[in-house]
Amino acid sequence: MRSAAFFGFGTSFGGVAFVTLNIIPSRPKLLLLLAGLAAFGLSLAGSFHFDDYSVLAGNVWQTLATRPLTALTFWFSLAIGDHNPLDYHAINLALHLVAILLLYDALTRLVSPRVAFIASLIFAVHPIQAEAVNYVFARSSELDTVLCLAALGAWLRGRHRWAVAWFAAALAAKEECVAFPVFLVLLWLQQGKKRAEVKPLAAMFLLSLAAGAAVYIAVLRTPGVPAGPYAGITMSHYLLAQGPVILRYLRLLVIPWGFNVDPEIHVPAAWLGVCAWLLIASMAAVASRRFTGAKAGFWFIAGLILLLPSSSIFAAEDLAADRRMYLPMIAFSACAGLLLERARPAAVGLIAVALIALSVQRTLVWRTEQSLWSDAVSQSPDKVRPKVQLARASDPARALELLQQAESLAPNDARIPADQGRVYLATGDAARALSAFGRALALDPSNADALNNRGAALLALGQTDAARQDFERALSIAPCQVNARANLARLGIDKPAPQQCR
């Protein structure tokens, strides 16, 4: 019943988008839908991954300040008690299909129908889209893209107020679309600079500034969030790293092989980072020679602009993530469509089939936690996180082996003894668990999770008073720590959750 209700929510959302933007099924659109389903239909059989579990734990309101619309979609699922991964993946897949049709609808107003079809086909089936479609937590990337495409469609129809409204909704889904008004300005410059369009463009820029300021303030007020000043990397180092990262994205577009949920990327030497950015600037300069809306150069530069908010100076702990390419793909796909405009239909068909095969293969990698993190461990052997994540999906013996390998790479990483302690506790060895949790706390004394875990080990050893103190201290550090509150309840101590945690 709940599964049907949530799937119905996804299909209803798609239906609203179709009716609102007057999208009528036609042969090209049906072919695009079938291609998208062929590439990513198996995502419906996928499991939860990584940050998806924070959603299931009820931590959706942590994103309320910056991504309220995305948080609302997750809240709806939790409100009906839905923990079925099929329903969550159905929403992501439905959003991808809506994005495909909206892109085709917009591009037919800007380029030839043939180019619009080829571009939308590449957007639909390219394996670089796999992370956004298969990763439930990446729904924000899909949602802001769908809403930006709705804004673009409204803009091209001359409905500028609707375009502003759709863009405001996109910002509420994910802040990374802040550069979308810059793309519209480039389009405006190409299409005649109508004076009546200046005010709605200005309104969009003001919305972008407000959203950017809100995100930065929210980050400053939330210590521990892996972004901005808490990302563990300076803005200058992040900028240096993003030159090679952008070149990696572009390489994956042309040679779609070597995808990795946790790529092994390091801050390069200053000269190498500068050279990477000079190469990107040179490519943009060459592209600018064909800078019209019906030429590939315009769309290549537009793709770079849409990518810059996540790949320039606003630091994030993850130096690269394929899902950040989902919105820029609307422009890079148009660029590819124009480059393939004169290709024979058979050649386009072969490219599409190859991309679908690669997307299916990538979707199968995303199917389970074990397959996803085994792939990441093999491709990033010197990274700690893939080993920690794979350990959580493995049997105790294999988990301890992986964690020992991770500890040899990062002996001062508190996550490793914390996970070792969880394995020991799950196997009934509370004494070794207590020792491991103690090491984790020595490395990170203010970690609420580690305090709760040590309390659980103490409780298993019968040391009730010491356990209670750890649970209470965990709540004093993180008032929304669900497990510590539950453990206190086991001791008969009622600690109501603060309003912001409900």
**Within this chain, do residues 334 and 456 fall inside the same structural domain, yes or no?**
no
The count of structural domains within the chain is: 2
Contact 291, 301 (CB under 8 A): yes
What is the C-alpha R_g of the chain? 24
Tokens of 190: 């190409």
For 448-480, how does the pLDDT look when each residue is reduced to its tens digit (9 = 90+)? 888 999 999 999 999 999 999 999 998 888 887
Q: Which residue has the higher pLDDT, 21 or 449?
A: 449
Tokens of 119: 């571009």
What's the pLDDT at 79? 82
- In a domain? residue 377: no
Contact 315, 93 (CB under 8 A): no
**Within this chain, do residues 400 and 321 fall inside the same structural domain, yes or no?**
no
Residue with tokens 């809100």: 214
For 414-437, how does the pLDDT look when each residue is reduced to its tens digit (9 = 90+)? 999 999 999 999 999 999 999 999
* Selection from 230, 243, 233 nearest residue 270 by Cα: 243
Angle between helices 270-288 and 296-307 (to 10 degrees): 140
For 197-224, how does the pLDDT look when each residue is reduced to its tens digit (9 = 90+)? 999 999 999 999 999 998 888 888 776 6
Q: Which residue has the higher pLDDT, 336 or 216?
A: 336
For 114-147, how does the pLDDT look when each residue is reduced to its tens digit (9 = 90+)? 999 999 999 999 999 999 999 999 999 999 999 9
CATH number of the domain residue 473 falls in: 1.25.40.10
% of the chain exceeding 70 in pLDDT: 91
34 alpha-carbon distance from chain centroid: 24
What's the pLDDT at 294? 66
**Within this chain, do residues 316 and 401 fall inside the same structural domain, yes or no?**
no
Q: Which residue type sits at 63? A: T
**Within this chain, do residues 258 and 350 fall inside the same structural domain, yes or no?**
yes
Over residues 481-502, the mean pLDDT reads: 78
Task: Pinpoint the alpha helices (H) of 308-328.
Answer: none
Single residue among 344, 370, 396 that ends a domain in this structure: 370
* Selection from 411, 417, 377 nearest residue 393 by Cα: 377
Tokens of 342: 């004169």
pLDDT band at 482 (very low <50, low <70, confident <90, very high): confident
% of the chain exceeding 90 in pLDDT: 73
What's the pLDDT at 5? 41
Lowest-confidence region among 110-124, 177-191, 392-406, 475-489: 475-489
By residue range, what is the domain housing residue 435?
A: 382-501
For 51-63, how does the pLDDT look when each residue is reduced to its tens digit (9 = 90+)? 898 888 776 666 6
For 345-385, how does the pLDDT look when each residue is reduced to its tens digit (9 = 90+)? 999 999 999 999 999 999 999 999 999 999 999 999 999 99
> Is residue 14 over pLDDT 60?
no
Partner residues linked to 316 by β-bridges: 227
**Within this chain, do residues 290 and 431 fall inside the same structural domain, yes or no?**
no
- In a domain? residue 375: no
**Within this chain, do residues 214 and 359 fall inside the same structural domain, yes or no?**
yes
* Selection from 90, 105, 125 nearest residue 26 by Cα: 105
**Within this chain, do residues 349 and 218 fall inside the same structural domain, yes or no?**
yes
**Can you tell me the distance from the alpha carbon of 495 to that of 492, in angstroms, rounded to the nearest whole number?**
10
**Within this chain, do residues 364 and 389 fall inside the same structural domain, yes or no?**
no
Residue with tokens 């500028």: 160
Instruction: Name the average pLDDT for the chain.
Output: 90
**Within this chain, do residues 77 and 155 fall inside the same structural domain, yes or no?**
yes
- In a domain? residue 39: yes
